Structure 1
Amino acid sequence: MTKHFSRPTAAPAAAALTLALALALTACSSSGDSSGGRTPDGGAAAAPSHIHGLGLRGDSLYVATHQGIYTPDADGSPMPVGDRRDDFMGFTVTADGDFLASGHPAPGSGGPADLGLVASTDSGRTWREKSLAGKVDFHALDTARDSTVYGYDSANGLLRASADGITWDDRTALRALDIAVSPADPGTVLASTESGVARSTDGGRTFAPGAGRVLAYLSWGAHDALFGVDPDGVLFRGTGGGADWTRVSTAPGGAPQALTVVDARRLFVATGDGVYESRDGGRTFERRMAVKAAGGDH
C-alpha cells in the first residue's frame, strides 16, 4: 500500500543532507582526470566524474558536470559539448531553450574563481558572461514562468532573484541544497533543507521553516509534476505544493546528484554511475548516460 508522509522521521536522511549541505558550502573546483570521455572528432576528453545539473533542449539531454557540459551519444557514452570544461555547479534550461549556469572556471583557464551567471543560446557550445563574475557561485538555479531567475548563492547562504539575469535582488538567507520554482506561480519557491522542505510564497523573501520529507533535490516540471529525491535516492512525488510526499521508487545507482522533471511521466535522475530516465512517473528507469563513479561532493 502506498504511504503518504507529511513529517520527517528519518534521522539518517537528515544527517546525510546535513553532510551534503556542508560540502556544498565549500568550493568544488578540483579537476577531473583525462580518461573515458571523447570529443566529437574522436579525441580524448576528461570523463565526467560528478553531475551538478540536468536539462532538456528539444529532446536532447544535457548534463552539467565537474568537467563541463556533456550529452549522451547513441550508446549512452558522454560526449563533451563545446570547449569549456568549467565546473558548472548550477545549471538550468529556460523555457526558451537558453542555458544558464554558474560555478568555477576550469583549472588553468584564467579568470575569476567564480563564474557568476553565464548563458548559452547554442546548447552549450559557446557561453557569455551575464552578471556577477568573480562575485557569486550559484549552486542551484531555476527560472519561473515570468522569466525570473532564482539562484542559490551557497557561499553566502542567500537566495537571489533577477528579472533579467543581470540585476539581482537579495531575498532571504537560508541553508539549502536545491530550489524549485512553481510552474504556476512565479512567487512560490521550495528549498530542500536539513529540516525538510521550506516554502516561500513571496518570491523567496521569506520562507516557512523546513518541514515534511527531508529531500536532497527538487524539481517542479509542471503544475502536477513536483518530485523530490532524498539523500538515499528514494524518489517522492509531492502534492499540496510540497506539503505531502508519496514514495514512488528508488532510483538506480546510489546517492542522487541531480534531478529534473519534464512532466508528470517523464523525469531524469543523476546518481553515482549515470543519468537515468523514467517515462512512467518514476516507477521504472533506464540509464541514458554512464559516468565515472565519484565521491559525494556537490
Structure 2
Amino acid sequence: MKTYLPGRRATTLGAALTAAALALTLTACSAEDPAPADGAGAAALGHVHGLGLRGDTLYVATHEGLHSPDADGRPVLVGDRRDDFMGFTVTTKGDFLASGHPAPGGDGPADLGLITSTDSGRTWREKSLAGKVDFHALDTAPDATVYGYDSANGLLRVSADGVTWEDRAALRALDIAVSPAAPGTVLATTENGILRSTDGGRTFAPASERVLAYVSWAAPDALFGIDPDGVLFRGTDGGTTWTRVTPVPGGAPQALTAVDARRLLVATQDGVYESGDAGRTFVRRMTVESGNDEH
C-alpha cells in the first residue's frame, strides 16, 4: 500500500468560506474477517458516513451499507443489508450502533432509529426509535451512555441503555464527540466553531472558534478534528485549543475516527485512510469514489 506524506497545500478558501462550506454540509441531508454477502463483489463506494475498527478489521458505514476492504482495498459488503447508515459507532464492548434509512424498496419505516449488531454487522436488530429518528452522529461515553444527534429535529438525545431517551440541547451541528474521561463532556461541531457541554449535553457554550467538520475523542490525549478542507487538527484543553497537524490526502472529509493517540481513520473523497503516527503519514485502506451526494 502506498504511504502518503502530506505537506503544505494551497487553499482557495478563507475562514468565511470554510464556515460557509460547513454550513452547506449541515443543511444537506477482536480481529475478525468481514462477512460479505453471498454474491457481493468488491466495487467502488460513494459517500461514507462512519468508520470503526473491531480488532484489526476496518468497517466503513456508507450510503449503500456497511463494508470492509478486501486484500486490494476494494469495499466488500458486510452482511446483506444495503441501508443508508447515516450514523455509526463501535462501542468499547465491540458492539455496533447505527442509524439512518432502509435501502430503497426495503420494508419498514423511513427512519431506522437506533439499530445494533453484536456480530460485526452481519445481522442487525432494532433497538429503539424506529420510524421516529435518523441519527446523523452517534457516540458513547465510558459508562456506555449513548449520545445521538437527531439532525431532522436539531436535537441531542441521550440514553443510558439505548432504549429510553432523554431530549437534551437543541443545536445545529454536524458531528459530536464525548469525552472518554468525563461522560458529561460533549463537543459539537458547528458552522461557528466548537461548542462544549459539561452537563451531558443539556447546555452548550462556545469552546473554540476553530471550524471543524468532524471530531473524535478516543482517549484523554487523543482528541482530533478535521476541517472542511481536509486539514487535521489535534485538540487539547478539552477542545479549547487546536493545533494544526497536516492535510489528509483525498480532499474534503467524510468521516473521522480516532482509535487511540496515534491511530486514526479518515474518509475523504477518494478513499479511507489510516495513520499510525498521529496523522503525520497516511495509508489508503479503501478506495472511495467522489462522495458528492450530501445528505
Q: Tell me, yes or no, if structure 1 residue 242 matches structure 2 residue 247.
A: no
Q: Shift of residue 74 of structure 1?
A: 1.3
**In structure 1, what is the Cα distance between the partners aligned to 2:27 and 2:219?**
30
One-letter amino acid matched to 2:108: G
**In structure 2, what is the Cα distance between the partners aligned to 1:139 and 1:53?**
10
User: Contact 1:63–1:70 (CA<8 Å) still a contact in 2?
Assistant: yes
Which residue of 22, 29, 33 maps to 2:27? 22
**In structure 1, what is the Cα distance between the partners aligned to 2:207 and 2:242?**
14
User: 1:122 maps to what in 2?
Assistant: 119
User: 1:135 maps to what in 2?
Assistant: 132
Give 1:109-258 correspondences, 5 Å limit. 109-209=106-206, 211-258=208-255
Q: Tell me, yes or no, if structure 1 residue 10 matches structure 2 residue 15.
A: yes
Write the deviation string for residues 180-235 of structure 1: whole angstroms up to 9, x where unpaired.
00000000000000110000000000000363210000000111000000000000
Q: Shift of residue 296 of structure 1?
A: 5.2
Distance 1:61 1:44, change over 3 A: closer
User: Contact 2:102–2:110 (CA<8 Å) still a contact in 1?
Assistant: yes
Q: Tell me, yes or no, if structure 1 residue 53 matches structure 2 residue 50.
A: yes
One-letter amino acid matched to 2:114: L
**In structure 2, what is the Cα distance between the partners aligned to 1:108 and 1:173?**
33
Distance 1:211 1:97, change over 3 A: same
**In structure 1, what is the Cα distance between the partners aligned to 2:120 and 2:175?**
23
Q: Shift of residue 10 of structure 1?
A: 1.3
User: 1:295 maps to what in 2?
Assistant: 292
Q: TM (normalized to structure 2)?
A: 0.91
**In structure 1, what is the Cα distance between the partners aligned to 2:244 and 2:18?**
14
Q: Tell me, yes or no, if structure 1 residue 91 matches structure 2 residue 88.
A: yes
User: 2:10 maps to what in 1?
Assistant: none
Q: Shift of residue 263 of structure 1?
A: 1.0
**Structure 2 residue ranges without an equivalent (≥5):** 1-13, 30-34
**In structure 1, what is the Cα distance between the partners aligned to 2:160 and 2:273?**
32
**In structure 1, what is the Cα distance between the partners aligned to 2:36 and 2:259?**
28
Q: Shift of residue 46 of structure 1?
A: 6.5
User: Contact 1:20–1:296 (CA<8 Å) still a contact in 2?
Assistant: no
One-letter amino acid matched to 2:270: D
User: Contact 1:72–1:288 (CA<8 Å) still a contact in 2?
Assistant: yes
User: 1:71 maps to what in 2?
Assistant: 68
Of all paired residues, the percent bearing the same amino acid is 76
User: Contact 2:50–2:256 (CA<8 Å) still a contact in 1?
Assistant: yes
**Structure 1 residue ranges without an equivalent (≥5):** 1-8, 27-37
User: Contact 2:40–2:76 (CA<8 Å) still a contact in 1?
Assistant: no
Q: Shift of residue 43 of structure 1?
A: 4.3
User: 1:81 maps to what in 2?
Assistant: 78
Q: Shift of residue 261 of structure 1?
A: 0.1
Q: Shift of residue 237 of structure 1?
A: 0.2
Supply the RMSD in Å over aligned alpha carbons.
1.5
Q: Shift of residue 53 of structure 1?
A: 0.2
Secondary structure at 2:234 match in 1: strand
Q: TM (normalized to structure 1)?
A: 0.90
Q: Shift of residue 54 of structure 1?
A: 0.2
Distance 1:218 1:296, change over 3 A: farther
Write the deviation string for residues 74-93 of structure 1: whole angstroms up to 9, x where unpaired.
11110110000000000000
**In structure 1, what is the Cα distance between the partners aligned to 2:286 and 2:192?**
32
Distance 1:280 1:85, change over 3 A: same
**In structure 2, what is the Cα distance between the partners aligned to 1:208 and 1:41?**
49
Which residue of 268, 280, 283 maps to 1:283? 280
Which residue of 252, 258, 262 maps to 2:259? 262
One-letter amino acid matched to 2:66: I
Report the number of matched residues: 277
Q: Shift of residue 11 of structure 1?
A: 1.1
